[in-house]
Amino acid sequence: MAQDHEGGRGRGRLSREKVLTAAVTVVDREGLASLSMRRVADELGVEAMALYRYTPSKEDLLDGIVEALFLEAERLLADTPEPEDPAAWRAALERQALAIYRVALAHPLVAPLVATRPLSVPFARRPRPVLRCHERVLGLLRRSGMSDDEALTLYRRILAWVLGYIVVELRQTVDAPDETEPAFRMGLHRIPPAEFPHLRAVGPRLAQRGGEQHLLAGLAALLTTPGPSRPPSDSGGR
């Protein structure tokens, strides 16, 4: 019996969600360098041509992976409605940051795409879940009483911090992954102590993740740092 484009297991069983889930699985297991339409098709047990109905190109597949991760972050926030009290904007921003961080932590090999892939796509063409995240952050800042300029300034700071933190946190390269001693794991013996005393001093800590506590501490510092016109206050900037 001839095999159809979806592997002979019944037409219509695929969906964009299933294709993107398979793509994330491939990257989780094998890294971004292994991602291809054929590799995702193999993961699903279908022919590569079957995927083009749901994701027409490798570029769309990369955008779709980002879409899938932001959808996962949305699901983490599903049980937390938008705060009605304008003064609750800080806590809502923390929940948003933690949702993105936790999804990235669950998919560390995919995490660089979360920070870098949207920048290669025109703003209006970014996946809807990415735009909804941006809309939510701006909405929280605006409802707190900030002006458009103040909200935009803080919005940029927040995104830069959260996405930058994720990349640094999850993509720290070690010299010897099998080493259990932090200094040897980071390869500090290769760094001359007289030339790089500060890096040698903090080097072992670079092998450890800062975690949610450091993410939130940095975010708190951003939210209390004066902007170009006035600082946002605990009462919502009013």
> What percentage of residues in the chain have a pLDDT greater than 90?
56
Backbone angles phi, psi at 109, to 5 degrees: -80, -15
Q: Are residues 2 and 45 in the same domain?
A: yes
Which residue range is the domain that position 44 belongs to? 1-56
Contact 73, 133 (CB under 8 A): yes
Hey, what long-range contacts does 231-235 have (CB within 8 A, 24 or more apart)?
A: 232/141, 232/144, 232/146, 232/150, 232/154, 234/87, 234/90, 235/87, 235/145
pLDDT score of 226: 57
Q: Are residues 45 and 120 in the same domain?
A: no
pLDDT higher than threshold 50 for residue 230: no
Q: Are residues 74 and 31 in the same domain?
A: no
Separation CA 79–CA 84 (nearest Å)? 15
Q: Are residues 95 and 166 in the same domain?
A: yes
Q: Are residues 81 and 31 in the same domain?
A: no
Number of domains in the chain: 2
Q: Are residues 121 and 217 in the same domain?
A: yes
Tell me the mean pLDDT in the region 3-24.
Answer: 72
Q: Are residues 109 and 213 in the same domain?
A: yes
Q: Are residues 159 and 71 in the same domain?
A: yes
Q: Are residues 19 and 122 in the same domain?
A: no
Q: Are residues 66 and 16 in the same domain?
A: no
For residue 3, the domain's CATH number is 1.10.10
User: Is residue 131 included in any domain, yes or no?
Assistant: yes
pLDDT score of 232: 46
pLDDT score of 114: 86
Tell me the mean pLDDT in the region 113-131.
Answer: 86
Q: Are residues 67 and 130 in the same domain?
A: yes
Query: For the segment 168-221, what is each residue's pLDDT rounded down to a tens digit?
Result: 887 666 788 788 887 887 888 888 999 999 988 887 777 778 899 999 999 999
Give the other-Cβ count within 10 Å of 128's Cβ. 11
Residue at a domain's end among 56, 88, 103: 56
